[in-house]
Chains A and B, each alone.
Chain A
Amino acid sequence: MHLPRPRGPISEAVVEVVRGGRAEIPSVTDIRSEDAQIALWTVYELAYRGFGDASPDAERDLELLRWRHHAEDLLEAELRDLTRAAVDEARAAAATVEGRLRALVDAGPSTPLARHLQRRATREQVLAYLVERSVYHLKESDPQAFVLGRVDGPAKVALGELLYDEYGGGRPERLHSHLYAEALEACGLDATYGAYIDQVEAPTLLSNNVMSLFAMQRRLRGASLGHLAAFEATSTDPCRRIAVGIERVGLPDAAAAYFHEHVEADAVHEQVVMGDICGAAVAAEPAIEDDLLLGAATCLIIDAEASQALYDAITAPAPELAGAGR
């Protein structure tokens, strides 16, 4: 993958420094702007697959680390503000961490996206959805894998079990990111990692960046597990609807297969992550419960925002994403 297209002065400077050049990266005034989000995504990506045109040591560049620290502090503060009311309500609604996670999920925001894809979306709108979600699904579970080394005992065992399933259960052809690549290819889309990064919108970048924010710092391990819990607990219903939608518009079986697999897998993972991972993690380290709820509420709110934004974009009279399937 090559470095993404800068979307403003911040990402321009970040890309320049990642390339090995020198630049002072401007401070962030709006952490939700696409400029700040693509810049943060770029800095995080250095810890995943990286870029062919990046300097080999960019991951440890002090200017990038300084800027990331500043951007992460702003983002974390924003997320704590955004989730405070939902977390307080969940805390009052139940006494156990599993009960509190369930309360968060039950009260979480919903969007018309999955129902639209199921019942009314055109083929082009379904393709636009597949493109937008490729940013995450081509590195599915990679953020959460960073957390495995930071927990211990039963929580580690259960997280390892969940990741083993996500990573194909010993069968490369069942690797979930590979299933997604097959789905994209079957639909005539580009399955190359990062292929669509230059066209995805800020809310999608944000929904990816919060996973990396929680995954990259040991301090936030609870938030990463909580995010995973909410993600898995809100997956089966949309996946079932999207599989129906894909079949309805006549896209190939390989595309629907990815979502069928996730109905079954995520029905399992929801139970594993709620009871076996989060319950055990909080039993071992009660102090991380607050961050666990922060992570879960973040997932619910930020992913709903991304879903709503995508719904608005694909159903707008002059859809900006209509060319996604070219």
Chain B
Amino acid sequence: MSSGAPDAGRAGGREAGRDPVRVRVCPDGPLLLRGADEVMDADGRAHPVTRPVVAVCVCGGTARAPWCDGTHALLNKRRAANNS
């Protein structure tokens, strides 16, 4: 990053010289976040990001909130079984 004035490169919350946070929506799965520093959970607690990509739960079923723990796969399977 440049050593110039800290706010000089800010545009729409994005710092100069730093990649934007990228979010990918996974079909029937979590949100994949790249480049985030922390994720705020529903109770307002900040969880630091410690790996290159993180998966954030959107199904509400995880036991490791805010992170995905794969529970959506079981919920999807159950839902499919109920619909058939």
Contacts and interface: CB of A to CB of B under 8 A. Distances in A.
Interface in B50-74: 50-55, 63-64, 67-70, 73-74
25 contacts: A165-B51, A165-B52, A165-B53, A169-B50, A236-B70, A236-B73, A237-B70, A237-B74, A240-B63, A240-B69, A263-B69, A263-B70, A264-B64, A264-B68, A264-B69, A267-B55, A267-B68, A268-B32, A268-B53, A268-B55, A268-B68, A270-B29, A272-B32, A275-B26, A275-B32
Interface string A247-285: 000000000000000011111101110011000000000
Contacts of A268: 32, 51, 53-55, 68
Contacts of B73: 236-237
User: Is chain B's binding surface mostly helix, strand, loop or mixed?
Assistant: loop
Contact of A267 (B24, B52, B67, B74): B67
A164 B73 CA distance: 25
A95 B50 CA distance: 35
Contacts of A270: 29, 70
Contacts, number: 54
A76 interface: no
Interface of B: 24, 26, 29-30, 32, 50-55, 63-64, 67-70, 73-74, 77
Contacts of A201: none
A76 to B, nearest CB: 30
Contacts of B74: 237
Given A240-B69, A266-B70, A271 B55 contact: yes
A262 to B, nearest CB: 10
Interface of A: 106, 161, 164-165, 169, 236-237, 240, 263-268, 270-272, 275-276
B67 to A, nearest CB: 5
A272 B31 CA distance: 11
A106 B81 CA distance: 12
A268 B29 CA distance: 10
Q: Which 10 A-B pairs have the closest CB atoms?
A: A236-B70, A267-B68, A268-B55, A267-B70, A271-B26, A267-B55, A161-B52, A263-B69, A165-B51, A271-B32
Given A263-B64, A267-B69, 19 more contacts: A106-B77, A169-B50, A240-B63, A240-B69, A240-B70, A263-B69, A263-B70, A264-B67, A264-B69, A266-B70, A267-B30, A267-B70, A268-B54, A270-B29, A270-B70, A271-B24, A275-B24, A275-B26, A275-B32
B6 to A, nearest CB: 25
Nearest to B34: A161
Contacts of B51: 165, 169, 265, 268
Contacts of B50: 169
A207 B55 CA distance: 28
A131 to B, nearest CB: 25
B13 to A, nearest CB: 24
A89 to B, nearest CB: 17
Nearest to B64: A264
A257 to B, nearest CB: 13
Which residue, A106, A164, A271, has most C-beta atoms of chain B within 10 A? Answer: A271
Contacts of A266: 70
Nearest to B29: A271
Contact of B52 (A169, A236, A237): A169
B25 to A, nearest CB: 10
Which residue, B29, B55, B74, has most C-beta atoms of chain A within 10 A? Answer: B55
Contacts of A169: 50-52
A163 to B, nearest CB: 10
Contacts of A161: 52-53
